[in-house]
Amino acid sequence: MTRNPPERFVLVLAGGRGERFWPWSTRERPKQLLPLAGGGRTLLAATLERARALVPASHVLVLTARDLVAAVRRECPPGVEVVGEPVARNTAAAIAAAAHRFGPAHAFAVMPADHLVEDTGAFRADLERAFAVAERDDVLVTFGIRPAGPDTNFGYVHAGERLADRLHRVDRFAEKPTPERAREYLAAGGWAWNSGIFVWRAGVFLAALEAARPALAGALAPLAGVAPAAFEAALAPAFAEAESISVDYAVLEHAPNAIVLEASFDWDDVGSWGAWARRQPHDAQGNVVVGNVVPIGCEECVLVGDGVTTTAALGLKRMIVVHADGETLVCPLEESDRVRQVSEAVRARRRS
């Protein structure tokens, strides 16, 4: 894909195993492949539409797990390249591999496949601004999201010196905080959620990786200049050597040239049934009801049935009931962050 003059690319990270929507989501059908975006689209398909608004399909690379390649490909417009990772190695290795694939002179955006953005116009404008900055300066641009509350499911980024409107040097990255710490961040101001959306030139990113994590950079170095047809095959030995670590820990926390652009678009990681339900239409009793459900005297519940069998809910308040593929989840809305535990327990039981 290396070309002159510099071009723009998009890397979509679609290897997640997000099971927070069990029983709807499974390892074989993780969150990015669920129709959680508007209009019955999957989060992945909606992400690809946003990518396509920025670059041609031929400039979009999707990295995912090998066993998800076929399902991911079904969501992709023609021309988009889908590559299966030989083993999961988290975001730092995936982004480094893509940087080698695109070539050091080119800028690329990194987009997780399982986030929801509705204001695509603002998204496109912000991303184009980030591309322009990254093409001009040797910086790592990360998108900060103005916090809607003291959420503990995200990393945070603190804005330092102001460079331009909504654009700051990064003062500090912080891992997912405790609830107390998250409240402190909000009270202090200047903190944003770390969205996992980034823009940089491939060469600038690879230099930062080399400086911060030379062993990992070295493991991926054989991918430099590999012909497109040989790229997927070359991933196996490179990933076998590569450390599994997130790009935040491996690179951004150590980079002196990280800058943060405060997003002007809406953003939601749709991290739970509760988060999803907030965006759905509610009935007069505040329930979100989907599929073949018989609700009697329920208030503020999330009730999801399938199209065939009956799921009946009687006298429930703030509960989640989901029946999908014959499997059933029941938990209080407040526990919706713990659903991953359920899918882990179900898998552990199947193994035993």
User: Residue numbers of the site for a second copy (CB under 8 A)?
Assistant: 22-23, 294, 296, 305, 308-316, 319, 321, 323, 325-332, 334-335, 338-339, 341-342, 345-346, 349
The encoded tokens of residue 12 equal 């979509």
Q: How far apart are CA 28 and CA 70, in angstroms?
A: 11
Q: How far apart are CA 198 and CA 200, in angstroms?
A: 7
Q: How far is the CB of 269 from a second copy (least distance, A)?
A: 21
Q: How far is the CB of 288 from a second copy (least distance, A)?
A: 15
Nearer to a second copy, 122 or 333 (CB): 333
Nearer to a second copy, 285 or 309 (CB): 309
Nearer to a second copy, 52 or 318 (CB): 318
Helix or strand run (H / E) with residue 90? helix 90-102
Q: How far is the CB of 323 from a second copy (least distance, A)?
A: 5
Helix or strand run (H / E) with residue 64? strand 60-65
Q: How far is the CB of 336 from a second copy (least distance, A)?
A: 9
Phi/psi for 230 (5° steps) reads -95, -5
* E strand segments, 202-339: 258-262, 288-290, 293-296, 302-304, 311-314, 319-324, 327-332
Q: What is the DSSP string of 276-291?
A: HHHTS---TTS-EEES
Cα separation of the two ends of the chain: 46
Q: How far is the CB of 263 from a second copy (least distance, A)?
A: 33
Strand partners, 296: 314
Q: How far apart are CA 140 and CA 60, in angstroms?
A: 20
Nearer to a second copy, 48 or 298 (CB): 298
Q: How far is the CB of 294 from a second copy (least distance, A)?
A: 5
CA distances from 7 to 60, 140, 196, 345 (A): 12, 17, 22, 46
Nearer to a second copy, 233 or 294 (CB): 294
Q: How far is the CB of 151 from a second copy (least distance, A)?
A: 20
Nearer to a second copy, 153 or 264 (CB): 153
Nearer to a second copy, 164 or 330 (CB): 330
